[in-house]
């Protein structure tokens, strides 16, 4: 097939709307990292603090046990009580979030995880600042400061998150089944007479992958990738339509998919027609 140059209009790609909370990686891929809502954060915090208070109550019951009374004087009991409180509201939350990389009992229930503002896993500094600040904004004010700050920002970040540079990421994103589109309406007439030759497997795979992930690219990266792929695909298409690069790729991919599906259906029909001959017994062979 003669090589045809790509028209100038193949350079403009349609950009999709981007989410409000995206992180652009070094490969110019936009990751949609969804923060947990205020309701989910409040539910997770409530579960966590109930667990911490139950742990503190268990430690107090242990310290007040008659078995330990002969060995602990009143001064030591006061010190142990304060130490147990610090252990339950600072040390335990810090250790749990550090060892589980931002997870806790409440966050596990609501499907959230504490991450850095850049999406990475938190360290000791982040977990310690969050736990230390929680004593003031959650324990001492019954969650009043934390709720007020969380309601005034889009990511539902509390004061400890601002100081530590973290936020709560919602990980239970529903699985979205990618829709299968046909030939774009703008190219329906062109598809009736167009000739799409067999493309290299690598090129076909890259075009399909780009169309599936186009919504996750930035506008500049999406335009550049569609231009490059269209410049390779025009050598196997005749005639080349005067449309944008991404629309051209979508039409080519849909035509190739439909034709391959038709070829597979015809092959299945031929095999079904041969089944009586393939499974039948030779002429005159006895049926025992």
pLDDT per position as a tens digit, 20-48: 455 555 555 555 578 888 898 899 999 99
pLDDT for res 129: 93
**What whole-number distance in Å separates Cα of residue 5 and Cα of residue 224?**
17
**214-242: b (≥16 Cβ within 10 Å) or e:** bebbbeebbbbbbbebbeebbbbbeebbe
Angle between helices 219-233 and 201-213 (to 10 degrees): 150
Q: Which of 127, 138, 113, 135 is nearest to 163 (CA)?
A: 127
Instruction: Choose between 116 and 66: higher pLDDT.
Output: 116
pLDDT for res 94: 93
**What whole-number distance in Å separates Cα of residue 152 and Cα of residue 146?**
10
Residues sharing a CB contact under 8 Å with residue 112, sequence separation 6 or more, in sequence order:
36, 40, 41, 44, 168, 169, 170, 171
pTM > 0.95: no
- Rg of the chain over Cα atoms, rounded to whole angstroms, equals 31
Task: Check if the beta carbon of residue 195 is closer than 8 Å to that of residue 4.
Answer: no
pLDDT for res 71: 66
In the predicted model, what is the mean pLDDT of residues 266-271? Answer: 87
pLDDT for res 207: 87
Question: Alpha helix (H) ranges present in 64-187?
Answer: 74-86, 92-99, 105-110, 124-134, 144-151, 159-164
Q: Which of 179, 167, 146 is nearest to 34 (CA)?
A: 167
CA 2 to chain CA centroid, nearest Å: 43
What 3-state class would DSSP assign to 281?
coil
Look at residue 76 and tell me whether its pLDDT is greater than 50: yes
Residue 180 pLDDT grade (very low, low, confident, very high; cuts 50, 70, 90): low
Query: Using one digit for the tens of pLDDT, what is the confidence trace for 152-172?
Result: 988 889 998 999 999 988 887
**What whole-number distance in Å separates Cα of residue 107 and Cα of residue 170?**
9
Can you give the residue ranges of every domain in the chain? 30-170, 177-279
pLDDT for res 26: 53
Task: Check if the beta carbon of residue 106 is closer than 8 Å to that of residue 48.
Answer: yes
**What whole-number distance in Å separates Cα of residue 187 and Cα of residue 244?**
11
Residues sharing a CB contact under 8 Å with residue 114, sequence separation 6 or more, in sequence order:
97, 102, 103, 107, 122, 126, 127, 130, 161, 166, 167, 168, 169
In the predicted model, what is the mean pLDDT of residues 208-215? Answer: 82
The phi, psi pair for 126, rounded to 5°, reads -65, -45
Question: Alpha helix (H) ranges present in the chain?
Answer: 38-63, 74-86, 92-99, 105-110, 124-134, 144-151, 159-164, 188-193, 201-213, 219-233, 245-279
């Amino acid at each position: 097939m003669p090589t045809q140059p790509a028209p100038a209009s193949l350079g403009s790609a349609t950009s999709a709307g981007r989410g409000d909370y995206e992180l652009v990686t070094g490969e110019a891929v936009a990751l949609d990292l969804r923060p947990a809502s205020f309701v989910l954060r409040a539910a997770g915090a409530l579960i966590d603090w109930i667990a911490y208070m139950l742990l503190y109550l268990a430690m107090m019951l242990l310290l007040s046990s008659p078995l330990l009374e002969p060995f602990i004087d009143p001064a030591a009991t006061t010190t142990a009580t304060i130490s147990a409180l610090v252990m339950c509201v600072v040390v335990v939350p810090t250790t749990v979030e550090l060892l589980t990389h931002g997870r806790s009992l409440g966050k596990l229930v609501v499907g959230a995880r504490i991450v850095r503002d850049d999406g990475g896993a938190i360290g000791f500094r982040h977990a310690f600042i969050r736990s230390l600040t929680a004593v003031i904004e959650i324990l001492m004010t019954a969650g009043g400061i934390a709720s007020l700050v969380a309601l005034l920002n889009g990511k539902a970040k509390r004061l400890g998150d601002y100081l530590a540079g973290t936020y709560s990421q919602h990980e239970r994103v529903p699985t979205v089944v990618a829709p299968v589109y046909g030939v774009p309406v703008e190219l329906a007439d062109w598809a009736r007479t167009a000739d799409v030759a067999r493309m290299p497997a690598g090129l076909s795979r890259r075009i399909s992958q780009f169309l599936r992930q186009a919504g996750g690219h930035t506008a500049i990266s999406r335009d550049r990738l569609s231009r490059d792929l269209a410049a390779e695909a025009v050598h196997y298409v005749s005639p080349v339509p005067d449309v944008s690069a991404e629309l051209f790729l979508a039409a080519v991919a849909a035509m190739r998919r439909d034709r391959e599906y038709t070829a597979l259906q015809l092959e299945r029909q031929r095999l079904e027609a041969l089944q009586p001959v393939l499974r039948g017994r030779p002429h005159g062979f006895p049926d025992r």
